[in-house]
């Protein structure tokens, strides 16, 4: 496994990238403005792109460079652009339907990170990986997933829900880059196009929501009815 045998400075670089993307997930959790979410998401995607390029360089997988470029292009530019267009059209610029205030959700997110920390430390110990980047990547992956779920649970704006899903997916992608580098190229491509489909579907759904329910809050979707 690559992550278990890294020189210290490289390990520092990897962990810095991973932790900074976790920090950006918290920026999303702690802010009320949709545009800020979007910028944080784009920056996170760029960091993950850098990370996969770094993994490609240190582990010797040339196809990861292609994946890095595609990640930066799709997640860092195309998806934010599409969502920005939806935000402009909807005329919503901030989260109004939150169930938990940003500061409280920050603290809740911090507790979730601690939970992920405990889980992955145990996992790392039982796998004999304690003290390596792998454990850190596992923590970051789990906590980004939990933060994504938290955002899905406490945020009411439809666009926040899309972004929460994307954060969740970013977390999985980041973890997989470090833990199992060298997945087949095709899977990565499929995931990228999957995301495009998700965003397109949500765009349609949000417009439907606005035209029929007159609001962009998903709390109005109470009944499973067409």
Partner 1 sequence: MTRDIWLQIAQVITVVVLAPLLQGVILQWEERIQRGQGPGIFQPYRDLWKLFHKQLVVPESATFVYWIAPVGAFTCMLTVPILIPVLTNFPLPLSDMGDILGGGLILTLGSFLIVVAGLDSGSAYGGVGSSRAVMLGILAEPTLILVLVGITLLAKAMLPFVVNHLLVAQPPVYWSPAHLFLVAAFFILILVETDRLPIHSSTHIEVYMIEEARILEYSGPLLALLRWASMMKQVIIYAIFVNVLLLPWGLSRQGFAAGALGAAIALFGKFLVVALAVVFVETAQSRLRYYRYQEPLGASFLLAILAIVANQLS
Q: Under the rule (CB under 8 A), what is the footprint of partner 1?
A: 8-9, 11-12, 15-16, 19-20, 22-23, 26, 30, 102-103, 106-107, 109-110, 113-114, 117, 120-121, 124, 130-133, 135-136, 139-140, 143
- Return the structure tokens found at 83: 């969502």
Q: How far is the CB of 27 from partner 1 (least distance, A)?
A: 10
Considering only CA atoms, which of 226, 83, 225 is closest in space to residue 167?
Answer: 83
The 10 Å Cβ neighbour count of residue 218 is 20
Is 143 or 216 the residue whose CB approaches partner 1 more closely? 143
Is 14 or 74 the residue whose CB approaches partner 1 more closely? 14
Residue found by looking up tokens 């802010």 in the block: 31
Q: How far is the CB of 98 from partner 1 (least distance, A)?
A: 14
Question: Rounded to whole angstroms, how far apart are CA atoms 185 and 63?
Answer: 7
- Return the structure tokens found at 174: 């980041």
- Return the structure tokens found at 82: 């599409």
Is 96 or 114 the residue whose CB approaches partner 1 more closely? 114
Instruction: Specify whether the CB–CB gap between 71 and 48 falls below 8 A.
Output: yes
Q: How far is the CB of 184 from partner 1 (least distance, A)?
A: 29
Q: How far is the CB of 50 from partner 1 (least distance, A)?
A: 15
Instruction: Specify whether the CB–CB gap between 140 and 24 falls below 8 A.
Output: no
Question: Rounded to whole angstroms, how far apart are CA atoms 83 and 58?
Answer: 34
Q: How far is the CB of 73 from partner 1 (least distance, A)?
A: 27
Instruction: Specify whether the CB–CB gap between 75 and 45 falls below 8 A.
Output: yes
Report the Cα 142 to chain-centroid distance in Å: 11
Q: How far is the CB of 56 from partner 1 (least distance, A)?
A: 21
Is 3 or 53 the residue whose CB approaches partner 1 more closely? 3
Is 120 or 216 the residue whose CB approaches partner 1 more closely? 120
Report the Cα 60 to chain-centroid distance in Å: 25
Is 15 or 217 the residue whose CB approaches partner 1 more closely? 15
Residue found by looking up tokens 């004999």 in the block: 128
């Amino acid at each position: 496994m690559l992550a278990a045998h890294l020189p210290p400075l490289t390990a520092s670089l990897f962990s810095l990238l991973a932790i900074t993307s976790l920090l950006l997930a918290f920026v999303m959790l702690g802010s009320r403005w949709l545009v800020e979410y979007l910028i944080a998401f784009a920056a996170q995607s760029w960091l993950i792109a850098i990370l996969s390029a770094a993994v490609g360089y240190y582990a010797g997988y040339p196809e990861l460079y292609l994946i890095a470029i595609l990640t930066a292009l799709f997640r860092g530019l195309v998806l934010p652009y599409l969502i920005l267009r939806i935000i402009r059209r909807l005329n919503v610029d901030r989260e109004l339907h939150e169930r938990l205030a940003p500061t409280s959700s920050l603290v809740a997110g911090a507790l979730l990170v601690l939970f992920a920390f405990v889980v992955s430390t145990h996992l790392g110990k039982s796998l004999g990986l304690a003290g390596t980047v792998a454990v850190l990547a596992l923590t970051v992956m789990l906590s980004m997933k939990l933060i994504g779920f938290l955002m899905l649970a406490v945020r009411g704006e439809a666009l926040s829900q899309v972004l929460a899903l994307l954060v969740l997916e970013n977390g999985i992608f980041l973890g997989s880059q470090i833990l199992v580098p060298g997945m087949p190229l095709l899977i990565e491509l499929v995931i990228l196009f999957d995301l495009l489909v998700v965003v397109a579907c949500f765009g349609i759904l949000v417009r439907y929501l606005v035209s029929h329910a007159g609001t962009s809050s998903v709390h109005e979707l109470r009944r499973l009815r067409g």
